[in-house]
Structure 1
Amino acid sequence: MLPDEDGVAAWLRYAALPESQRTATNSPAIDTVIVLGDEASDASSPLSVAGRELVDGISKILGRSVSLGSSSSQHTSSTLVVGVRDAFTLLEGVPSSSPLDHTDGYWIDPASSSSPSRIIGHDARGVLYGAFAYLSKLAQGRLSSEAWGSSPRAPIRWINQWDNMDGTIERGYGGRSLFFEGGAIREDLARVKEYARLMASVGLNGIVINNVNANASLLSEESLANGVKRVADIMRPYGVRIGLALNFDAPRTLGGLETSDPLDENVVAWWTEKTHLIYKYVPDMLGYTIKANSEGQPGPLSYGRTLAEGANLFAKPLSQYGGFVFYRAFVYDHHLREDNPKNDRANAAVDFFAHLDDAFDDNVVVQVKFGPIDFQVREPVSPLLARLRKTKAVIEFMVAQEYMGQQTHAVYLAPQWQEVLAFDMRVDGKPSLVRDILSPSGPFGWPTTGYTAVVNVGRDTTWLGHHLAMANLYAYGRLTWAPESDARVLLDEWTRLTWSTDPEVVETLGNLLMDTWPAYEGHSGNLGIQTLCDILYTHYGPSPASQDGNGWGQWTRANAKSLGMDRTVATGTGFAGQYHPEVASVYEKIETTPDNLLLWFHHVPYTHVLKSGKTVIQHFYDAHYEGAAMVQTFSQRWASLRGKIDDARWEHVAFKLAYQAGHALVWRDSVCRFYHSLSGIDDDKKRVGHYAHRYALAAPSPNVVLDGYTPVDARLPESASNGKAVQTEEEKSGKVTITLDVDSAVYDIAVNYFDTSVGRASYSLAVNDSTVGTWQGNLQDRLGHDFSEYIDGHSATRIYFRGVALKGGDVLIIEGQPDGKERAPLDYVSILPEGVVD
């Protein structure tokens, strides 16, 4: 039996390499690690960290004693010598043009029969990256006998944490903040060190530690001296520098000034003094991330100033320290009038920023979300990335799955990012892949460019709330270093390091996770309609209606006959025209627009025929059923790995995947019912609205008797059978009795119920007088997503009781005991022949 693991070590477990994989190459006879250079004995130097990491990693992976030698130790074939290139008297074997010519680059030369192994870095951080690359290959049993090296394509490889000073994390699903608690930096920062280590191991070099919806009190001298400085000191040895998110209105709210006008001399002086104070305590701070004039927040536009004038306010005092302003392009009006057909939130980034291209100071970088709206399951690439020439930009991804299952659903996002990075923007009619634009050698020659992502790890031992979600953090880091990487290759690396080098584990888990994004897109929102989650509440469960009828601008313009946004230049909002001509011409016409973005760019009838030959509405029905069906396979595929993975982590994932399977059906039914009701068009396959195996508990039926249960409207009608659930009377238990009309056979019993955040109701299920099982509505204690207090698509869930022998006339009894405001709500019961998925 494998020992249980909690997940904290993630992909840096350094599990012992199986004997079967220990070839001469994969099991080098290293017994001594020598670190060259004056910094070798400095515990705060990446060089020293690299030496310690190599000793620890090689010892664990190969199960042998490895020591840290001195610079005067003899160099033999059992020695691994590491250092910056200037510390080596000879660079024999290193190409004249190599990764060592670039910042953070490294070169790895395995041992021969007569010479030591070498890890050479362009700089100290490069040595550390080389050490982690060596250990990664070693731990996977894939160490090459050939020398190799690497350097990053972009200098900016950052993380944004949305941590609040009270210890909560906005859109965080893995527990409370590593950094903050009770309005201050935490005393215990041990996990911060481990986070820095994980970041360094995949090449990430910067982190903004606080929420972009920033609390200005972080900038107090006490907070800087006794908190922020400690975080910076802990992360610095791993080559990770920190930045801070600022509240634009801090001169008023923290400084007591009457204004935060960026051209007011007192405001300029206040920010200049504050910047000097920050660098007093953190002399290598990266700079500031700014969210302003977005979602109701103040900013330069509040004072009649331009966004450039606002950004330059911070850029000037930062410039003397080499710091940067990362100004988020997430600026838009969230009170748009939907009745104006020309209004379009997607236009906002280009409208607000493109005309200011030559107005920003040299150390201002515009931070651009990968799509024009907000981390949706599918969006076109933001045109702003190709419209800024003089002003530098970075792309922003989201590892935290705000709109895509909130780490309760497993969704591997790297295939989406890979598509984005490979998209050709056709700048000036020339090949211009996004990944090339985000490189100093790209068409704009930005020396400062690259990547940032909202990650939001927390104190949970899984870091993100789901062991499988860590594949996204691993892949994000690796893509920032080498954006041409293949998502499946990265996934297989992560699997070998995190779970097992067993080929069956690698193949099974790889195939499973590669299916997750297509499946999620299938059962959530497809054809470019966006994710169709509830944008007015928790951003988690289904609510197609929430997209329209409000000022947030994530509209689908769905009505009884048609849906989709007309974003053409000819008849719509003009968004298609924000791209360079070759791309714009593709999106302008229905005939050339890819089907997977059709409804993003065009408003069409439900009966519009796609390139596949299906109508739009039939595609919706089919995709939602197929996507949900794919999710049902995940649990079975994971189950095949039992015994090859430790029980603790296996059970965690098994529970999450079982929940995901049930919630995928909630998504499927909610979205299909909504569009079926809206359009009045039946599903050709007679699935939508026809559920042969279900007993809807709120529907009148001679087979269903309610005792102490009463029907109640669901908050979102499409999220419950016929728009209604049943729940008990306040503080009283209730009972549902169902007389079954089934053939004698073995069945799976599925109970769909609502598990809200306002209580922990208890349930029992019996057949005749025999108890089948009990459960509690306590998912708020077991899942990390943003919970709902309502009966809706967020709280809807399912529990199975499998392999139950039933016959016609059997009586199924569910008893519910309310808890607080959660009154044991139920939706329906399905009696499923074995192998049937409702």
Structure 2
Amino acid sequence: MLRTIFLALFTVLVSAEDGSRAWLRYAPVPQASSHRLPPSIIALNSSSNSPVYVAGQELQKGIKGVFGKELSISSTNKGSPAIVVGTIDAYKKTYGSFKEARELEEDGFFLSTTGNTVRIIGQNERGALYGAFEYLSRVSQGKFSSVSYVSNPHAPIRWVNEWDNLDGTIERGYGGASIFFKNGYVVENVTHAAEYARLLASIRINGIIINNVNANPTLLNDRNIAGLARLADAMRPFGVQLGISLNFASPQTFGGLSTFDPLDANVDAWWANITNKIYQSVPDMAGYLIKANSEGQPGPLTYNRTLADGANMFAKAVKPHGGVIMFRAFVYDNKILYANWKNDRANAQVDFFKDLDGKFDDNVVVQIKYGPIDFQVREPPSPLFSTLRKTSTAIELQVSQEYLGQQCHLVYLGPLWKEILEYDLRADGKPSKVKDIYSGERFKRPLGGSAAVVNVGTNTTWLGSHLAMSNLYAYGIMAWDPAVEPDDVLQDWIRLTFGFDRKVMEVITDISMKSWPAYEKHTGNLGVQTLTDILYTHYGPNPASQDNNGWGQWTRADTFSIGMDRTVKNGTGNAGQYAPEIASMFENVDTTPDDLLLWFHHVPYTQKLKSGKTVIQHFYDAHYEGAATVQTFWKAWESLKGKIDTERFEHVLFRLIYQSGHALVWRDAINQFYYNLSSIPDEAKRVGNHPYRIEAEKMTLSGYKPVAVTPFHTASGYTAVVTTSNTMAGSVSTNITFASGVYDLAVNYYDLYEGKAQYAMSINNRTVGTWTGDLEDKLGHEISRFLDGHTATRITFRGIKVNKGDVLRIVGTPNGIELAPLDYVSFMPPGKVD
């Protein structure tokens, strides 16, 4: 079985550049021919399914790809120069001691390329595999200099979370269907899972939770437990331990008990029995991930028990097997009253957990989202990190861009994470960086680490986008060593993924490093949160959705002011959850950094920032600046034509062009919303003023009718047009009033799910552009069936010659529920963006 998996893996590796190989391409390196290479590989493995065996196979494959040489593999010392890979114990048994052995920690490795022999020695088998991948990463990047060093992990727990459902869908997943489940059961063919485990091992991830935190209890049936064993067998050779999420109410809903009270002896026994059963099939299972009493999920609070009572019940069940419980701190009431000025979802983590510090068993790790709300474009670090002193913790990040463009927008997240990891929370007035808290170093806790929500799917790009894979790579490298710089990590990834061309390096580095700041600017800045639609898809703009509901992601925007008052003096008290040094900074509007002003303070739109601008003018300017930056991405990428294979070049170009249009949707929607709310005009007179546009509803309509769009600000002029029939085509037409010349024609329309309308645009009956509303086949973002900020999109036809007085006509043919909706047409002089 395992040999079949390995053969399938390495067959995949010779396929086209479709993204499936990610950063493990092992492409030829031009200067490799001049590098002296040992003539063989010695893998000091004890079995054919061990990580050391895999390391030997990986070295053989990588060396062949990079150097074009086929090296033999043996498991014994031949007494000649070789690439030697194995554990400390195996190496000592064969070669004798080496002084660096005492420096190695669990999962760590020693790499030496000095002399005639390459030595790759792991503290354990997993460490040996990590060392092999490190060596291959170096040579794949043309780094042939002699090195000798020890590398140890920053923290013992380096996991990924996959929010896969048993029916094969993935919550907040944008890369296709699940690689783990289908039709209610674990998939039969686990080759794809093994491929993923290989990718994870190459970035030193040692654990994976394979199912949604909103867990389905039927995962615990006999057929699925047998399936878990198959998955664990496939991933074990790569050192990746399997874990699962549990539904707290399973003893009742699945097991037939009358209760799921964690202090009930029968419930305790039920969990112990099912846990023993799972460990019989998966003896090295990593443990459980628990989401309890959050967003309607069951938990111990149902029975007036504490969260520690619930966590410890599971901890006792896995303790005999060496398992770990990751207990999510994402606990909050999603029905809190907006009318209460003191209510604040951001307080929930500390409120729920502060009195439980020290009451969790020693194999429980509290998994804390990096900010107090929910993966927003900017949040302060969660104060819970500096609150829990006696409890092991882990930081939860998100590779899957749930609120950040859902892999349809390029947003490189390394810089965001770096800010959080390096943030000094000053607990007890002492250095207390977030990275040193969750590692266990700051408060001397035995466990700790990081988890990232990734949500890979069956798409060949894994995440639905080639460039989004930089985030998965960066997560793994930064989980191992958070001291690395995000741009350095990014450039390693670029070399491994796209090669050595200097311009390729410069362009991808430039657009990636600009992407998070640009996204923040054209979505939600000054700490106001991302301003996406939180009630529906978490994708397009909808600032009104933040307020007047029980979800607690509030901005408290009104006609005069905006922002959450989180001060102790007048507000929710959230600032006071931080250590005194940090609290005093956030308490004062003058000392709060501008990029978090609206997170901690409710201020008038006319409040002056440190830049001298008012809040509202900063909003207007930032949204224009951010959207303008995004317009440069596709142009920069287009300059790489011929330097990147056609398949990946076209795939990325399509998404960057789409992103450039959607950034304008964001810009206009947010600016229009706050202009209408505040009645304060943009000093530059841009908001609501679009001289290049012709509104569809102002054209001559035939078989079309105007409709109001909700939310109103996601349509230019608040109105779009749709066909009057779901079967018959319609048209919009107008005489062109612009001066004769060459223009780029941009059409804003709406691309709904469950419909593929067709469009044809002509000038004086000369067709200048055709397209189909089929983004549901090309993009992986959450679906929408409405005219809104999620479906609003833009297509541009460049270099179109027109004469004043010509007739512009667009014919739209509806399909399904998509009634060929149109918003406007822009006539832009080349180089202009309306």
**TM-score of the superposition, structure 1-length normalised?**
0.96
Q: 2:829 aligns with which of 791, 813, 833?
A: 833
1:107 corresponds to which letter in structure 2? F
Question: Which stretch of structure 1 is more off in the superposition, 807-816 or 89-98?
Answer: 89-98
- Can you list the C-alpha shifts for 1:683-704, whole angstroms capped at 9, x where unaligned? 00000010010001124xxxx2
Question: C-alpha separation between the residues in 2 aligned to 1:439 and 1:133?
Answer: 22
Query: Closer, same or farther in 2 for the Cα pair 1:4/1:744, shift >3 Å?
Result: farther
SS at match of 1:127: helix
Matched residue type, 1:28: R
Distance 2:443 2:15 in 1: 52
- Say which of 724, 749, 753 aligns to 2:719: 724
Out of 105, 115, 132, the position equivalent to 2:108 is 105
Residue matched to 1:57: 62
Q: Deviations 1:704-762 (Å, cap 9, x if unpaired)?
A: 21111110011210000221100001222110002111112110000000001131111
- 2:42 counterpart of 1:34: yes
User: Do the aligned partners of residues 738 and 439 (structure 1) sit closer, same or farther apart at CA in structure 2, a change above 3 Å counting?
Assistant: same
For 1:180, the equivalent position in structure 2 comes to: 181
Distance, in Å, in 2 between the alignment partners of 1:779 and 1:97 is 55
Matches of 1:634 and 1:537, distance apart in 2: 28
Q: CA deviation at 1:265?
A: 1.4
Q: 5 Å matches for 1:76-475?
A: 76=81, 79-89=82-92, 96=99, 100-112=103-115, 115-225=116-226, 227-440=227-440, 442-475=441-474
Measure how far apart 1:820 and its partner are. 1.4
Q: Tell me how far 1:48 sits from its aligned partner.
A: 0.3
* One of 796, 799, 802 as aligned partner of 2:795: 799
Find the aligned partners of 1:264 and 1:642 in 2 and give their Cα distance. 65
Q: What is the distance in 1 between the residues matched to 2:490 and 2:789?
A: 31
State the shift of 1:87 in Å.
Answer: 2.4
For residues 798 and 533 of structure 1, the distance between their equivalents in structure 2, rounded to whole angstroms, comes to 19
Partner Cα separation in structure 2 for residue 345 and residue 63 of structure 1: 57
* Residue 221 of structure 1: how far off its partner (Å): 2.1
1:90 CA drift (Å): 9.0
Distance 2:743 2:349 in 1: 54
Cα distance, 1:787 vs structure 2? 1.5
Aligned to 2:25: 13
Q: Give the Cα–Cα distance (whole angstroms) in 1 for the partners of residues 611 and 102 of structure 2.
A: 46
Q: What's the secondary structure of 1:262's corresponding residue?
A: coil
Q: Distance in 2 between matches of 1:4 and 1:267?
A: 52
The residue aligned with 1:691 is 690
Q: Report the Cα distance in structure 2 between the residues aligned to 1:282 and 1:551, rounded to whole angstroms.
A: 41
Q: Does 1:664 align with 2:672?
A: no
Letter of the aligned partner of 1:232 in structure 2? A
Which residue of the partner structure matches residue 590 of structure 1?
A: 589
User: How far did residue 359 of structure 1 move?
Assistant: 1.5
Provide the rounded CA distance (Å) in 2 between the counterparts of 1:668 and 1:95: 60
C-alpha displacement of 1:36: 2.1
Once the two structures are TM-superposed, the CA of residue 3 in structure 1 deviates from its matched residue by 9.2
> Retained in 2: the 8 A contact 1:4–1:649?
no
- What do residues 146-189 of structure 1 show as CA deviations (whole Å, max 9, x unaligned)? 21221101000000000000000000000000000011111122
CA distance in 1, matches of 2:33, 2:95: 26
Provide the secondary structure at the position in 2 that maps to 1:393.
strand
CA separation in 2, counterparts of 1:69 and 1:507? 42
Letter in 2 for 1:786: E
Q: Secondary structure at the match of 1:396?
A: strand
1:88 shift after superposition: 2.8
Percent of aligned pairs with the same amino acid: 56
Match of 2:729 in 1: 733
Contact 2:104 2:110 survives alignment (8 Å) = no
- Deviation at residue 31 of structure 1 after TM alignment: 2.5
Q: Distance in 2 between matches of 1:378 and 1:590?
A: 18
Give the conservation status (yes or no) of the 8 Å contact 1:3–1:646. no
Cα deviation for residue 28 of structure 1 reads: 3.0
**Residue 705 of structure 2: aligned partner:** 710
Question: Is structure 2 residue 520 aligned with structure 1 residue 521?
Answer: yes
Tell me which moved more, 492-501 or 215-224: 215-224
Matched, 1:69 2:77: no
Q: What letter corresponds to residue 185 of structure 1 in structure 2?
A: V
Distance 1:134 1:242 in 2: 26
CA RMSD for the aligned pairs? 1.5
Corresponding residue number in structure 1 for 2:32: 22
Shift of 1:4: 4.5
CA contact (8 A) 1:99 1:151 kept: no
Offset of residue 773 of structure 1: 1.7
1:313-337 CA-to-partner distances (Å, cap 9, x unmatched) read 1111111111111110111011110
Secondary structure of the structure 1 residue equivalent to 2:732: strand
Aligned pairs (5 A) from 1:628-667 = 628-667=627-666
Could you tell me how far 1:121 is from its partner in structure 2? 1.2
Amino acid at match of 1:728: T
Query: C-alpha distance in 2, partners of 1:361/1:72?
Result: 46
Counterpart Cα distance in 2 of 1:298 and 1:335? 15
Q: Describe the SS at the equivalent of 1:22.
A: helix
Report what 2:749 is aligned to. 753
Query: Which secondary structure does the structure 1 equivalent of 2:425 belong to?
Result: coil
- What amino acid does structure 2 have at the position aligned with 1:816? G
Aligned-partner residue type, residue 256 of structure 1: G
| Partner Cα distance (2:310, 2:69) in 1 | 57
Which stretch of structure 1 is more off in the superposition, 508-517 or 343-352? 508-517
Helix, strand or coil: the match of 2:643?
Answer: coil
- Distance apart, 1:91 and its partner CA: 11
The one-character-per-residue Cα deviations of 1:345-389 (angstroms, maximum 9, x if unpaired) are 000000000110021111111110000000000000000011111
Quote how far apart the aligned CAs of 1:111 are. Answer: 4.2
Distance 2:49 2:212 in 1: 27
Letter in 2 for 1:141: G
Distance in 1 of aligned mates of 2:774 and 2:406: 17
Shift of 1:539: 0.3
Aligned residue number for residue 498 of structure 1: 497
On the 8 A contact 1:751/1:800 being kept in 2, the answer is yes
Question: More displaced, 317-326 or 520-529?
Answer: 317-326
Unaligned runs of 5+ in 1: none
- Superposed, 1:531-610 pairs within 5 Å as 531-610=530-609
Which residue identity lines up with residue 190 of structure 1 in the other structure? T
Gaps of 5+ in 2: 1-13
Secondary structure of the structure 1 residue equivalent to 2:467: helix
After TM superposition, give the deviation of residue 97 of structure 1 in Å: 5.8
The answer (yes or no) to whether the contact 1:696–1:828 under 8 Å persists in 2 is yes
SS of the residue corresponding to residue 697 of structure 2 reads coil
Mapped to 1, the partners of 2:62 and 2:166 lie a distance apart of 35
Separation of aligned partners in 2, 1:392 and 1:90: 36
- Preserved contact between residue 161 and residue 455 of structure 2 (Cα < 8 Å): yes
Matched to 2:19, the amino acid is G
Deviation at 1:190, TM superposition (A): 1.1
TM-superposed CA distance for 1:23, in Å, is 7.1
What is the aligned residue count?
Answer: 820
Q: For the Cα contact (< 8 Å) 1:99–1:149, is it kept in 2?
A: no
CA distance in 1, matches of 2:252, 2:682: 58
Of stretches 542-551 and 66-75 in structure 1, the one that deviates more from structure 2 is: 66-75
Work out the CA distance in 2 between the residues paired with 1:105 and 1:261: 41
Equivalent-residue separation in structure 1 for 2:418 and 2:145 (angstroms):
26
Q: Label 1:59 to 1:23 Cα distance change in 2 as closer, same or farther (>3 A).
A: closer
1:66 CA drift (Å): 1.4
Aligned to 1:615: 614
Distance 1:805 1:4 in 2: 39
